[in-house]
Amino acid sequence: MEINRKSPPSVGPTARTGESSSAKAPKAKALTVRDGFDTQGARPSNFVDRPTGRPTPPGASVPASAFTYGSSNVAVKPGATNKVDPSKEKPKLTGEPIIAVIDGGVDFKHTDLDDAMWTNPGEVAGDGIDNDANGIKDDVHGFNVGDGGGDPFKGDGTDHGTHVAGIIAAEDNGKGNTGIAAGKAKVLSVGGLYDGADLLTNFERSVDYLVKMKTEHGVNIRAANASFGNSYRDAASQERWTAAVQKLADADILLVAATANGNGSNMNNVPDMPANIDLPNVITVASMDRNNDKLARFSSHGDKVVDLAAVGEDVLSTVPGNQWEEMSGTSMATPTVAATAARMFAENPDLTAVQVRDLLIKTVEQDTDLKGKVITGGKLDINAAIDAAKATVEPKPQTPAVATR
């Protein structure tokens, strides 16, 4: 059952949020300004702002190039039908749940991520051929939406994208950190989000790639992490954002989105995209402080648009070049929720995106500091959410014992 984002539900308190195990690493040096992400102001020295990407030119329509990637139409015009035809046989989804990280590209050669990446079974790495006929050559670990190629680890924001991916699925190998969904899920990287076209157009292209891979190629994509966003006040852009997220909903893909880092700003009346899109497959995340006992000072909030909060301060995770660093921001809180969703899908693959969202919301731990700031008044409870997913598994019917002489 979907909870209306515009009216706070009544949610009871649960057990304290569980912590994932992680190997300790020395505290990283303070971050500098990299990839255009602001680290200045009254914020922690390791703060990275939620990327906003290239702005959409005023009055711009979708560029023609958005419809002609590779040898097929990877992107679909806004408003066009992209639903799965119920009369067609759907590809069988198998294997671990896959979380798409739409962001700067992920360093898929990182020693803490190389075994955590989705690998396209239909591609032959490096042969320059579109083996699976999806319009993209050599998309072995994902797609670069900025240049239309198959290498996601290009362009701006690779520190950000790699850090997000590590929070989700960094390997349990005694190095750096261990992702919340380590060994339970794979990461598909959609890189290049901050290159080439504007953020909105690149998001549309990203969505169409993911929907195509799931509905036509059977890739078990269950959620997409969106640790980015910006304000879009024109109705045409808002319609395009909503249409793109609706395509994810039609393909049963959860969108886990970061609210802004506005130093306590209220986002209730802000057309923040994609975080404030009111669709049942969207869950929007604010950041708790490092101790998980109050809203982080850099985080925005909104009791009509932000669903819950999760720890996003001083989070240790992977960065390119086989390194690990601590970063702070709603960008770090969001993959914590996406990884928990992955664990839930792993427990019960029959759960839908809407059902997982509903369970995440219903199992939050109430926090007095969040009352009136997020819809639920609560913060992510990892263990309670996973346990709730386990409880939905239908018991297998037992075979009656055969009597013997």
- Beta pairing partners, 311: 288
Q: Which phi-psi region, left, alpha or beta, contains residue 92 (left: φ > 0; alpha: ψ -120 to 50)?
A: beta
- Four-point Cα dihedral 298, 301, 305, 310, nearest 10: 70
Q: Are 61 and 55 in contact (CB under 8 A)?
A: no
Could you tell me the CA-to-CA distances from 37 to 215, 263, 301, 318 in Å, in that order? Answer: 34, 16, 20, 17
Distance CA 136, CA 162 (A): 22
Distance CA 236, CA 343 (A): 36
Count of other CB atoms within 10 angstroms of residue 400: 6
Give the three-state DSSP class for 57. Answer: coil
Distance CA 309, CA 377 (A): 9
> Residue 167 belongs to what H/E stretch?
helix 158-169
Task: Choose the catalytic residue: 20, 22, 49, 103.
Answer: 103
Residues in the chain, overall count: 405
* Residue 139 annotated among the catalytic residues of the structure: no
Helix (H), strand (E) counts: the chain? 6, 13
The two three-digit tokens of residue 392, written as one number:
């939905």
Pairing of strands 378-379, 365-366: antiparallel
Task: Choose the catalytic residue: 189, 299, 328, 331.
Answer: 331
* Residue 61 annotated among the catalytic residues of the structure: no
Give the three-state DSSP class for 172. Answer: coil
Distance CA 324, CA 97 (A): 25
Task: Provide the residue type at 76 as one letter.
Answer: V
Task: Choose the catalytic residue: 160, 252, 289, 303.
Answer: 160
- Tell how far CA 126 is from the center of its chain: 27
Which residue spans within 93-136 are E strands per DSSP?
98-102
- DSSP letter (8 states) at residue 52: -
**Phi, psi of 65, deg, nearest 5:** -65, -15
* Residue 217 annotated among the catalytic residues of the structure: no
The two three-digit tokens of residue 6, written as one number:
């515009």
Catalytic residue numbers? 103, 160, 331
